[in-house]
Amino acid sequence: MLKKVLIIFLLTSVIIYGMSIPIYKIPPYESIIYSKNILRDILFHDIKNSSWQNAKKYMKSASTTEDLPNIQADNQGYSFYIAGHTYGKPAVESKGLYGPFTDKFHLINEYKSIKFGFLLGDLVKKASNEAWELVKKDLDFLDPRIENIIVPGNHDVGKGAHNALREIFLQQFGKTFFSFKHEKDLFIMLDGNINEWNISGEQLQFLKQSLPNKKDSTSNIFIFSHQLIWQSSSKPEFKKIKPNSLEGRSDNLNFWDEIFPLFSDLTNNIYFFSGDIGAFPNGNELFFAKYLNVTFVATGMGGGMRDNFLIVSVIKDQVEIFFVPIN
């Protein structure tokens, strides 16, 4: 009798909670609505008016090295590649990097001007030392001249500043936000997983200290993150783009109030690159927008259609961005 009462109580509780989700918008309401919208986009997306189609107006496609600038010496310029969501398909067990991406490693190796690679998060589906060893094994097929830099995603370091996944990442790769200069260009890596997609606290202070002053000779500033920390439904330029996931995202992001003003007064060429798109074939596999003096770009893979990564070439301080289709 007690067992039946307990079962009835549990079933009733589940039904009441389920009915309360859409009424009171309690968790996981946002996740359900977002998943529904993703499914709708996959089934009914309009490629002609998608972020993919729009981005192609501003970026050239490169299938071979012949499609890329002919940089023959270091004093002529340099390049780097950018790849997002490289564990690939969400519904498939991850055993290293996404196969169609590694199949294109020959192109990266052949284009001798590439100095760096930026892997913008979600390299592993479920982080562990074993999973990271598989990733490293795949990256070993890239030419050793290329420095591969990992900008972590939620699958790589989890949510928040302290958790087991982050500890594994720190042991494997070290800091999750840092900067460096190459020639006259500044590269900044950000970690949107620490505080719900917000850049705050110690990381915000780091960002402020990293930016050049007016007397600095810095030319281009490249900023990398996994999350689309700049995505905003209140700005027409960013309405079409949908991240793979809203996991860990705060309802109140500080990008436009606190982060963007740090860049809007600078005279440098500024580029934000993010990598949390492309997991689904919904027309959001590539994104490009320019807002005032800042260019925003996102790239990703895993959906099996329109998967891509980027190659960026810098020649005499001028930046050109190419997307590389991988299927």
Mean pLDDT of 230-235: 89
Share of the chain above pLDDT 70, in %: 84
Q: Tell me the pLDDT band of 29, cut-offs 50, 70 and 90.
A: very low
Range scoring the smallest mean pLDDT among 8-12, 194-198, 213-217: 8-12
Q: Structure tokens of 312?
A: 């960026």
What are the boundaries of each domain within the chain?
1-44, 47-325
Predicted TM-score (pTM) of this structure: 0.87
- pLDDT (0 to 100) of residue 183: 95
Residue range 126-168, pLDDT digits in tens: 999 999 999 999 999 999 999 999 999 999 999 999 999 999 9
- pLDDT (0 to 100) of residue 4: 65
- pLDDT (0 to 100) of residue 31: 46
Q: How far is it, in rounded angstroms, from Cα 282 to Cα 318?
A: 32
Question: In whole angstroms, how far apart are CA 319 and each of 45, 51, 322?
Answer: 31, 21, 10
Share of the chain above pLDDT 90, in %: 77
For the chain, the C-alpha Rg in angstroms (whole number) is: 21
Residue range 83-131, pLDDT digits in tens: 999 999 998 888 999 999 999 999 999 999 999 999 999 999 999 999 9
Query: Which amino acid does the sequence have at 214?
Result: K
Give all strands of the β-sheet with 308-315 in edge-to-edge order: 60-61, 318-325, 308-315, 78-83, 114-119, 147-150
- pLDDT (0 to 100) of residue 45: 56
**Does residue 41 have a pLDDT over 60?**
no
Q: 327 vs 113, which has greater pLDDT?
A: 113
Topology given in CATH for the domain delimited by 47-325 = Purple Acid Phosphatase; chain A, domain 2 (3.60.21)
- pLDDT (0 to 100) of residue 92: 87
Range scoring the smallest mean pLDDT among 20-29, 171-180, 317-326: 20-29
**Does residue 312 have a pLDDT over 60?**
yes
Q: Tell me the pLDDT band of 40, cut-offs 50, 70 and 90.
A: very low
Q: Are 311 and 322 in contact, with CB atoms under 8 Å apart?
A: yes
Mean pLDDT of 209-233: 92
Q: Are 124 and 94 in contact, with CB atoms under 8 Å apart?
A: yes
